[in-house]
Amino acid sequence: MRTYILILSLLLIACIVKGQAIIEGISYDESKVPNYVLPDVLTCNDGSKVTTVAEWEKKRRPEVLEYFYSQEYGRTPKETIAVTYEKLTENPNDMGGRATSKQVRFKFTNGKNVIEAILLVYIPNKRKGKVPVFVGYNFKGNHSTTLDTTVLYSPSFSLVKAPDHPDWQRGNQMNRWCYDKIIDRGYAVATMCYHDIFPDKLGLIKHSVSSLFPTYDPNSTALDEWKAIGVWAWGSSRIVDYLETQDWVDLEKIAIMGHSRQGKAALWAGAQDTRFKVVISNDSGCGGAALSKRVYGENIARIVKIFPHWFCPAFEQYADNEDKLPFDQHELLALIAPRHVYVASAVGDLWADPKGEFLSVYHAGPVYELYGLSGLGTNIMPDIHQPIMTDVGYHIRAGEHDVTDYDWERFMDFCDMHFKIVKRK
């Protein structure tokens, strides 16, 4: 009996560590996925069928977009916020002379208050003409992506991490940013700490750029009130605003890459901002690329409870009620068409529901086909390390919830294809 209790206790601890505690209602059993019906992305709310690009763009697409504005991510304000750029550093001989690095301070202001953010940019020196760019947030500060002691700490980092926290250590997430490989492939990188735009901690909304908008109300009860994911998506577009001022940028070759919660924000940014020509989601899971109606791994009930500052309040009505969703995440991916979307999963990341992420890409396919483009072409998941790349893309790799060199190499392969870039030998 003692042995049985010990084994049971160890299993329970393991489940809790992996986020699989039974009390959270998390299921990793494919046989328990409910019989769900996905909304047809090409059927309008009045029941009419979309058969042309014009009907999609003028009628159905606005309907789908409205679902995400009103019931998941919140409504992005139409007002603009003043922003200025200040170059803080520039090193034309970074990475042993292979790159030029820059650090640029963004100052967002409404005339009364100021929110600051720092963009870290690496530009390949060996280039001919303008260069493509990857835009993406980092989680632990620009300093976490490199050992370079000249890289400045993010202005908001002290709000979310205590002075003795190990995340202050330089290079603590270098593994997620293979700058050398990206530069050698001819791409620039523009990264910013996501906390600078909206500190990812409950109760810090007043330190986010959303607090600068004239409609800001810390006590708002509006069901479509935008929150962190919406604000992060908005911030990604402001990075593109800056890139538009730079003569070295190929504005037709801007890609956005987001991991985990930032994969969610990247997809939402790509749905709203057509300047992102390739949109990449890595392990984005619930509220990102994964189909919510599968209720597999992390689900709506869990995510809105643990992260109430991410989604608009209206999303809470679908907690343990996914069958009532009038939309699903495949429609978010469809909003990106005819631009290109790539979704990546990991075998060990069941929390993010790899199959649900794959199926989301598959079910977005009809909109791509409407434009004369190609979807995945199959509803059967590929094997590990066997990416599918058409006008959309998907891969599943070995490993856990992370960003690896393998991921980056596939992202660059996909961008090479659509940006018509020849690999360097």
| Residues with a known catalytic role | 260, 401
207, 115 contact by CB (below 8 A): yes
Backbone angles phi, psi at 83, to 5 degrees: -140, 140
Taken in order 392, 396, 400, 406, the sign of the CA dihedral is negative
Angle (CA) 305-265-67 rounded to 5° is 75
Sheet holding 388-389, edge to edge: 82-93, 99-109, 114-124, 188-193, 131-138, 249-259, 278-282, 340-346, 392-397, 388-389
**Pairwise CA distance, residues 80 & 384, whole Å:** 44
Q: Tell me the Ramachandran region of residue 280: left when phi exceeds 0, alpha when psi lies from -120 to 50, beta otherwise.
A: beta
**Pairwise CA distance, residues 237 & 215, whole Å:** 20
